[in-house]
Amino acid sequence: MHMDTYNDLAGLLEGDVASDTETLRSASRDASIFTVSPSLVIFPKNVSDVQKLVSYVAQKKAAGHDVSLTARSAGTDMGGGPLSTSIVVSFTKYFNRIIDIGSGTATVQPGVFYRDFEKATLAKELLLPSYTASKDLCTVGGMVANNSGGEKTLRYGKTEQYIKQLKMVLWDGNEYVFKPLSATELEEKKKLQTAEGDVYRKLSALIEEHDSELQAAKPRVSKNSAGYYLWNVHDKKTDTFDITKVIVGSQGTFGLITEITFALIKPKKYRHMVVTYLNDMEKLPTIVQKVLAHDPESFESFDDHTFHIAMKFLPQVLGKLKGNIFTMAWGLLPEVWMMLTGGIPKLLLMAEFTGDTDSEAHATAQAAYNELKKEGYKVKMTSLEEEKEYWVFRRESFNLLRQRIKNLHTAPFIDDFIVRPETLPEFLPKLYAILDQYHIVYTVAGHIGDGNFHIIPLMKFSDPNTKKIITELSQKVYELIVQYKGSITAEHNDGLIRSPFLELMYGKNICALFEQTKDIFDPQGLFNPGKKVHASMQYALDHINHD
């Protein structure tokens, strides 16, 4: 970035403009396999700063400069979503205010850490239930950008279901309010001679013209973060046009979000867990069906590879972490070993049942336990302390693996597929067969109740074969997922790693509609280029970490 751009922005903005090595290095990484170094990092102080920044960059772009803006919060994205060679706009430093928590809603800025937000909402006995396994690290802005989900999604759904209103600065440098509109309100918006009016006119026309095509393209799984969710915008039953349904999950490719109003739930206070150990994958759909009939709040799993990895590497990790929360996970393993007969199970399934009273939660869990036990499955009702240990192991497994051990690094590139749960006995052996062709170390964990799994290989990035494996394995796994009518990403979104495969999942025609949608919101191409549309697999491969 030219020095004059730095000087221009430093003089224009109240917030901070940084180009020092440490700040640029920090903004060049997320939780993905990529490193992309930005030219500048901006820490806007207020909405006025964001507006001035967008207007400035729009002028530079119009004058022929190759410049863009990419929003960033906590950097926990596993697909390279917030990485850019141009200007990164970081929201955690100043856009971190909880504005209001009402009786069932909360208004916050995008840079608020979820852990702080949760403390504030729980103080009022409320919760945003779409939190991720990285809930202690991520921000609410990142959750909206990726349309995040997690362990409670089975019962409560993803972030998209909790957006009441968004404020976003569009390409013209103005901040607009986006929320559900009635048919009459939509017509009024379409009359506006502004960037907002333009978006409503063009987007409603596109959706109306291609409605049947879009509805056919909607993935028939319980959750999806791939592409733009155009099929969700117009609710014909209520005749509501809700543009937030396509903004959520758009990964900052439409504009810069400045404020979010969430709907919240009243969480259940009491919980009991039933753990099932499974060696026969053919029995998986029967177990899933029986457990889901008792309406668990969460239904999670991890596989035998996770145990083997833990046994191999956990002592080294604990040495580095000096016995923090991971000691609980370490304590869990011998207990599991003792319980098991016939070795480590192929899958360990954790079903958590909740209620407003302890007796209600216990009775539901007991009923599920009794039914599984009667069928001859190896099951266990856990104590509260054991539940905590299982959850630590499930939630922290990726962070555990991220610790650098013997030059092996986590490589999340096929890390978030979803298929219908009833297909898993047929699907999973085919998946494992593909993975085992490459003799790589990997773990599989996930949300079994949804059929959503996270595959995390451990790889040596310095190995010349790594790029070849990533390309081939991605292609093969995604082809299998598409064959089973699933989604290549249920929660983590597209970023650098999956955007090149959207055409495989949706086909050319739907991807052309995605490109038109991007152009409607961002005609100059100012925001987070190369994600969702116009993606390059070669660009992604060229930016794989080498250290």
Same domain flag for 351 and 225: no
Look at residue 133 in the predicted model and tell me its pLDDT: 84
| 277: its two tokens | 């150990």
**Band of the pLDDT at 444, cuts 50, 70, 90?**
confident
- Pairing of β 441-447 and β 452-459: antiparallel
Under 8 Å between Cβ of 482 and 507: no
**Strand-pair partners of 18:** 41
Who contacts 108 (Cβ-Cβ below 8 Å, separation ≥6)? Answer: 97, 98, 99, 117, 140, 259, 260, 262
CATH number at residue 29: 3.30.43.10
Q: How many domains does the chain have?
A: 3
Identity of the residue numbered 512:
A
- Which residue in this structure is represented by tokens 């909206």? 144
pLDDT at 332 over 60: no
Residue 460: the pLDDT is 87
pLDDT band at 461 (very low <50, low <70, confident <90, very high): confident
Task: Kindly state whether residue 493 falls inside one of the protein's structural domains.
Answer: no
Average pLDDT estimate for 476-486: 97
What is the pLDDT, as a whole number, of residue 334? 44
- Based on the fold, state whether residues 336 and 475 are members of the same structural domain: yes
Strand order of the β-sheet with 234-235 is 180-181, 240-242, 234-235
Last residue of a domain, one of 263, 282, 301: 263
Statement to judge: residues 320 and 430 lie in one domain:
yes
Confidence of residue 338 (pLDDT cuts 50, 70, 90): very low
What percentage of the chain exceeds 90 in pLDDT?
76
Asked if residue 176 is part of any domain, the answer here is yes
192 pLDDT more than 60: yes
pLDDT of residue 313: 60
Q: What is the pLDDT of residue 462?
A: 85
477, 489 contact by CB (below 8 A):
no
* Higher local confidence (pLDDT), 111 or 313: 111
Cα distance between residue 159 and residue 334, in whole Å? 37
- Quick one: pLDDT at residue 526? 98
Which of residues 429, 460, 483 is at a domain's end?
Answer: 483
Q: Which residues on neighbouring strands pair with residue 240, listed in sequence order? A: 235
* CATH code for the domain of 227: 3.30.465.10
Please indicate, yes or no, if residue 388 is contained in any of the structural domains.
yes
Mean pLDDT over residues 132-144, rounded? 93
CB atoms within 10 A of CB 490: 29
263-275 mean pLDDT: 96
Average pLDDT, the chain: 91
Residues counted in the chain: 547
- Contact of 106 with 121, CB cutoff 8 Å: yes
pLDDT category at 399 given cuts 50, 70, 90 is low
Mean predicted confidence (pLDDT) in 426-444: 89
pLDDT digits (tens, 9 = 90+) for 194-244: 999 999 999 999 999 999 999 999 999 999 999 999 999 999 999 999 999
Q: Is 507 inside a domain boundary?
A: no
Round to whole Å and give the CA distance between 484 and 18. 47
Same domain, 133 and 223: yes
- Tell me, what's the pLDDT at 322? 47
In this prediction, residue 4 carries a pLDDT of 87
Tell whether the torsion through CA atoms of 333, 154, 495 and 16 is positive or negative. negative
The per-residue pLDDT for 376 is: 92
Same domain flag for 85 and 105: no
Q: Do residues 43 and 120 both lie within one domain?
A: no
Share of the chain above pLDDT 70, in %: 91
Do 465 and 321 lie in one domain? The reply is yes
Q: Which residues contact 394 (CB under 8 A, 6 or more apart)?
A: 133, 151, 300, 302, 350, 445
Tell me: do 102 and 217 sit in the same domain: yes
In a domain, 420, yes or no: yes
What is the per-residue pLDDT across 145-168, written as a single tens digit (0 to 9) for each? 999 999 999 999 999 999 999 999
Which domain covers residue 451, as residue numbers?
270-483
Q: The tokens of 302 are what?
A: 């991890």
Mean pLDDT, range 439-449, rounded to an integer: 86
In a domain, 527, yes or no: no
Among 485, 484, 492, 433, smallest CA distance to 153 is for 492
Same domain, 222 and 297: no
Name the domain boundary from 90, 117, 152: 90
Are 146 and 74 part of one and the same domain? no
Question: Is residue 107 pLDDT above 50, yes or no?
Answer: yes
Instruction: Give 3-61 pLDDT, tens digit per residue.
Output: 789 999 999 999 999 999 999 999 999 999 999 999 999 999 999 999 999 999 999 99
The predicted-structure confidence for 240-251, as pLDDT tens digits, reads as follows 999 999 999 999
Same domain, 140 and 186: yes
Tens digit of pLDDT for each residue in 504-516? 999 999 999 999 9
407 and 277 in one domain?
yes
Q: Is residue 228 domain-resident?
A: yes
On whether residue 494 sits in a domain, the answer given is no
| Amino acid 366: pLDDT | 97
Nearest in space to 380 (alpha carbons), one of 445, 336, 327: 336
